[in-house]
Amino acid sequence: MTGQPQESTPSDAPVAAVAVVLRTRNRPQLLPRALASIGAQTFRDFRVIVVNDGGDEGPVLEQVAACPAVRGQVDVVTNPQSVGREAAMNTGVTHSRSEFLVIHDDDDTWHPEFLAATVGHLQDSTDAAVAVRTEVVYEELTPEGVVEIRREILAADKSAITLGEVLRANISPPISVLYRRSVHDEVGLYDGTLPVLADWDFMLRLLSVHTVGFVDGPPLAYWATASSSPATTTRATSGSSATATCAPPWPPRVASASGSTSPPSRSASTPWRSVATNTWIGVSGRSKGGSWPASRRPTGSS
């Protein structure tokens, strides 16, 4: 096998409107849930590019085949050796041809209306990208499965940002941003030399030349941050892929004051609102990927 990415499921299907780049590496507990999240979208003109970054390919192919919601809409591209999370985004981008792009990590999920809302916004505006209100989901990976600890809305008191805000903090989780492919022609690909936060760097370059829209209302993206017990960090095998199923993650369960759980609701008084300005929401000082490298930290950030 060469050092070049190997496409295990090449497709000559028509080009879809949206390419969903799904990064994964030996996480059989999480990949089926991510696939189901994508498969539950009401907007169906998408193609999934699963980037298996140096992980065992067998379980990935098994789990893709076992998810009927995305059957016929997935290409698997395997990097024989890991190129790292940041460069893996470029593997997916360069193996896609769609007008719109979005990065979907294997631990994150969407509301079923995410693509419908964001594609609709970009089709009706001149924004180069659009973001949605996002919820952070804190989880723990255990041998028995994924245990949800708590949730919180990202910067619930904010519904707009500026380039200056993004310079101070990484407030753009990839799961919540759909953008135009043409942006890469202007600002380049993700910086694969960075150890973390290439998405932040990319958003700064994007915002320096374009506007970003915002879809307000209930959260449409769920940004997971997880800790792992030792038993869940071992190398995956083909047999371990059976530990998870391709089950739709929606609706999420939200704890009430009484301790009971119920799915979130959306009433007519709280519609999703598209704000066609240079806006975003985020959480100050938090990033799933870590802190900005000192050598690349923008002036004024911490």
The pLDDT tens digits of the residues spanning 265-290 come to: 433 333 343 333 322 222 222 234 33
Superfamily of domain 9-229+264-296: Spore Coat Polysaccharide Biosynthesis Protein SpsA; Chain A (3.90.550.10)
Q: How far apart are CA 259 and CA 70, in angstroms?
A: 35
Domain boundaries, the chain: 9-229+264-296
For the sheet containing 134-142, what is the strand order? 109-110, 221-228, 134-142, 145-153
User: For residue 151, what are the contacts with CB-CB under 8 A and spacing of at least 6?
Assistant: 135, 136, 137, 138, 252, 254
Between 90-104, 142-156, 207-221, the lowest mean confidence (pLDDT) is in 142-156
pLDDT in tens, 199-210: 889 999 999 999
Q: How confident is the model at residue 250 (pLDDT cuts 50, 70, 90)?
A: low
What pTM was estimated for this model as a whole? 0.76
